[in-house]
């Protein structure tokens, strides 16, 4: 990287190369380890000053900056981000994730490869609820890796399964990065169409991207499971079964599983379903998810000795929610009408009662969490993660303003058009660059910095926006799994016991990288895997 930095500085001699130099210097300086959000803005400002002194940059390019920040505040889609983070943090802090993993392991443990399968399934579920790679990998690494090793799993197979399952968080909706990516791609799509002279541009929404990512995500889960089943079948030594008598009776296991599994599952289905059905915006669904998570946590945290009475408010609230949904679908409860039938009137009364019950349940859950000192920890972490995400958005806004001022957009477009092979070449080129950037930038940074630069040019060339978004997501997910720099591997290394060698982790990831590449190839050959569902749902 030093070499590139020197190279970048050499290139500064020609002021026309300032935009390229800016990106190269950013890549070099970002490795120093100062927070990315401010490195982005700082590097941009240094190059703005250099550009000013060369007379190739106009200071007025910086003036829209406050407007950009205000835009991030007013963006109604992005409001979903803090609420999804809240939902994920509640599920994590109230140990619901741990319980899920535990129960799954008991359910599948008696099969060969069963622990690996349970890790993949829980990874997909957790993913859907939090969408933060680091959190998922760390949680599962801490909880499952020791168990898998103790049960005689091959360290490489076990760590590969965990790292891969952790990255599923990005591709399976409703993930936070898909929301951010959806917002960025929809802006890029509008811009591309306006530049082509389409003044009534088509739009794509976060819902489109969620729908597009659903089947590819499930396909990946399927591929992972197939690989694990095959490994267990043909190399039983790598993934032995837990002797059935150690797990307790099947009946008990099922009884406990039936109690712990449905609530989080129901929550995820409700959130995702309402977005995909077009009934709710991601923001609305996220608030429902956060309140649902709060209720689940309230029920889990209720003292055991209190029995049913301690959980009554939460159960009451849950029941009330179901009644509300049922009432709304059978009766017309809208207020402010003139002639209201008796049935509707009774319905409104009942609905109002239900609302009170929900409020009581939510209040009880909040009280419960506050009493356990968990509420501050939850809000604290939510605030910090949210701020981290938006700080990068703000820093990237500064970066892109300066980059544009230095003529970067034209450079990117010219470069993409110059890649041999036309559209295919350009897509391959962009994917390769993003793959490499994925070694040292997280998904959020790439979404805010790289995607706005390359997406308009690609979309103008006629790429389908949903397909492009899904390809980018899977591509980055692969990058995070690839040794030696993959993020997921780093996180896992951080929590894995010393008996697991780094080489084991690297070796274990390789088969999963193969599966990822297979998925990318399948998507390239059959784009309909991504584009079919949004087409059916929204057209």
**Closer by beta carbon to other proteins, 203 or else 376:** 376
CA pair distance 189, 269, nearest whole angstrom = 29
> Least CB distance from residue 284 to other proteins, whole Å?
5
**Closer by beta carbon to other proteins, 349 or else 414:** 349
**Closer by beta carbon to other proteins, 218 or else 351:** 351
> Least CB distance from residue 102 to other proteins, whole Å?
28
> Least CB distance from residue 64 to other proteins, whole Å?
8
**Contact present, 272 and 282 (Cβ < 8 Å):** no
User: What is residue 280's DSSP assignment?
Assistant: S
User: What is residue 196's DSSP assignment?
Assistant: T
Q: Please tell me whether residue 20 adopts helix, strand or coil conformation.
A: helix
> Least CB distance from residue 176 to other proteins, whole Å?
14
**Closer by beta carbon to other proteins, 92 or else 102:** 92
Residue for token pair 């070099």: 28
**Closer by beta carbon to other proteins, 67 or else 499:** 67
> Least CB distance from residue 168 to other proteins, whole Å?
21
**Closer by beta carbon to other proteins, 366 or else 522:** 366
CA pair distance 159, 172, nearest whole angstrom = 21
**Closer by beta carbon to other proteins, 259 or else 384:** 384
**Degrees (nearest 5) of the Cα angle 131, 134, 136?**
60
Which two structure tokens, joined as six digits, stand for 114? Answer: 């069963």
> Least CB distance from residue 500 to other proteins, whole Å?
19
> Least CB distance from residue 521 to other proteins, whole Å?
29
> Least CB distance from residue 357 to other proteins, whole Å?
12
CA pair distance 369, 114, nearest whole angstrom = 34
**Closer by beta carbon to other proteins, 321 or else 529:** 321
**Closer by beta carbon to other proteins, 17 or else 439:** 439
> Least CB distance from residue 341 to other proteins, whole Å?
15
Select from 466, 469, 497, 503 the least CA-distant residue to 484. 503
Mention every residue, 6+ apart, whose C-beta is less than 8 A from residue 350: 323, 327
CB-CB neighbours of 422 under 10 Å: 10
> Least CB distance from residue 252 to other proteins, whole Å?
36
**Closer by beta carbon to other proteins, 13 or else 32:** 32
Residue 95 backbone dihedrals phi, psi, to 5 degrees: 65, 20
CA pair distance 289, 174, nearest whole angstrom = 10
String of DSSP letters for 22-77: HHHHHHHHHTT-S-HHHHHHHHHHHHHHHHHHHT---GGGGTTHHHHHHHHHH-TT
User: What is residue 198's DSSP assignment?
Assistant: -
Residue 316 backbone dihedrals phi, psi, to 5 degrees: -60, -45
The conformational region for residue 7 under phi > 0 = left, psi -120 to 50 = alpha, else beta, is: alpha
């Amino acid at each position: 990287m030093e070499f590139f930095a020197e190279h970048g500085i050499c290139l500064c001699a020609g002021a026309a190369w300032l935009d390229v130099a800016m990106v190269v210097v950013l890549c070099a300086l970002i490795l120093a380890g100062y927070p990315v959000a401010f490195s982005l803005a700082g590097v941009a400002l240094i190059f703005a000053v250099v550009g000013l002194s060369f007379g190739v940059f106009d200071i007025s390019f910086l003036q829209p900056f406050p407007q950009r920040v205000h835009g991030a505040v007013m963006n109604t889609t992005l409001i979903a981000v803090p609420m999804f983070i809240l939902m994920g943090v509640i599920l994590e802090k109230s140990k619901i994730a741990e319980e899920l993993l535990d129960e799954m392991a008991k359910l599948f443990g008696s099969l060969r490869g069963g622990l690996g399968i349970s890790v993949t399934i829980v990874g997909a579920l957790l993913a859907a609820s939090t969408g933060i790679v680091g959190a998922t990998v760390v949680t599962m690494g801490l909880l499952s890796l020791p168990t898998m090793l103790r049960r005689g799993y091959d360290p490489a197979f076990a760590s590969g399964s965990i790292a891969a399952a952790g990255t599923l968080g990005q591709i399976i909706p409703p993930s936070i990065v898909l929301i951010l990516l959806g917002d960025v791609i929809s802006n890029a799509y509008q811009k591309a169409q306006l530049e082509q002279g389409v003044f009534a541009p088509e739009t794509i929404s976060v819902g489109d991207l969620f729908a597009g990512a659903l089947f590819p995500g499930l396909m990946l889960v399927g591929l992972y499971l197939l690989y694990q089943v095959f490994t267990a079948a043909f190399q039983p030594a790598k993934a032995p079964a837990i002797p059935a008598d150690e797990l307790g009776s099947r009946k008990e296991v099922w009884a406990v599983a039936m109690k712990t599994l449905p609530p989080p599952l129901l929550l995820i289905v409700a959130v995702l379903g309402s977005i995909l059905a077009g009934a709710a915006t991601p923001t609305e669904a996220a608030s429902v998810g956060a309140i649902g998570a709060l209720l689940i946590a309230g029920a889990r945290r209720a003292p055991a000795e209190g029995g049913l009475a301690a959980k009554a408010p939460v159960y009451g609230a849950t029941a009330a929610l179901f009644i509300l949904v049922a009432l709304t679908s059978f009766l017309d409860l809208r207020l402010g009408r003139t002639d209201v039938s008796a049935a509707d009137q009774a319905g409104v009364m009942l609905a109002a009662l239900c609302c009170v019950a929900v409020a009581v349940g939510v209040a009880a859950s909040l009280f419960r969490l506050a009493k356990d000192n968990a509420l501050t920890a939850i809000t604290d972490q939510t605030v910090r993660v949210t701020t981290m995400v938006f700080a990068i958005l703000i820093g990237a806004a500064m970066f892109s303003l300066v980059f544009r001022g230095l003529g970067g957009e034209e450079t990117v477009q010219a470069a993409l058009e110059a890649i041999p092979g036309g559209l295919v070449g350009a897509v391959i080129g962009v994917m390769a660059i993003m793959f490499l950037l994925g070694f040292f930038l997280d998904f959020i940074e790439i979404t805010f910095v790289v995607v706005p630069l390359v997406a308009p040019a690609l979309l103008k060339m006629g790429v389908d926006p949903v397909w492009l978004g899904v390809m980018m997501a899977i591509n980055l997910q692969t990058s995070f799994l690839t040794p030696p720099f993959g993020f997921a591997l780093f996180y896992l290394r951080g929590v894995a016991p010393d008996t697991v060698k780094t080489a084991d982790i690297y070796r274990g990831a390789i088969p999963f990288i193969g599966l990822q590449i297979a998925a990318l190839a399948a998507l390239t050959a059959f784009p309909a895997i991504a584009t079919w569902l949004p087409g059916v749902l929204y057209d």
